[in-house]
Amino acid sequence: MTIRIEVGKEGYIIIPKKIRDLLSINEGDILILRVENNKIILEREKKIDIEDIKNKFIQHEKRLSYIRKPKLGELAEVKIEDEFKN
């Protein structure tokens, strides 16, 4: 969809209602504006869900739960050469 808009006072632009409705852009939403290859790109700010990230770390920790630190002296009898033998 292409729509022609005019830049107003102090550089303001208005996103037409059709576009706002199409993209579910509401008053108070944060948009990111960047310039790329001499074009203006306007995108919705990506929100980070802290709880989602926390849950992913917990799941990852559970997958790695079989790994434990060796106890002091536990590996004293292991020869480094044995580590590389097939």
Looking at residue 34, which CATH number applies to its domain?
2.10.260.10
Q: How confident is the model at residue 81 (pLDDT cuts 50, 70, 90)?
A: confident
Identify the three-state secondary structure at position 33. Answer: strand
Q: Is residue 79 part of a domain?
A: no
Structural domain containing residue 5? 1-68
Q: What digits encode the pLDDT tens for the residues 28-51?
A: 999 999 999 999 999 988 888 888
> Could you tell me the pTM of the whole model?
0.50
Sign of the dihedral through C-alpha 76, 78, 83, 84: positive
Decide if 81 is inside a domain: no
Instruction: Please state, as a whole number, how many other Cβ atoms lie within 10 Å of the Cβ of residue 19.
Output: 14
Number of domains, the chain: 1
The string of pLDDT tens digits covering residues 54-77 is: 999 999 988 887 787 777 777 777
Cα-Cα end-to-end distance for the chain = 62
Q: Is 25 exposed, middle or buried (0-12, 13-18, 19+ CB in 10 A)?
A: middle
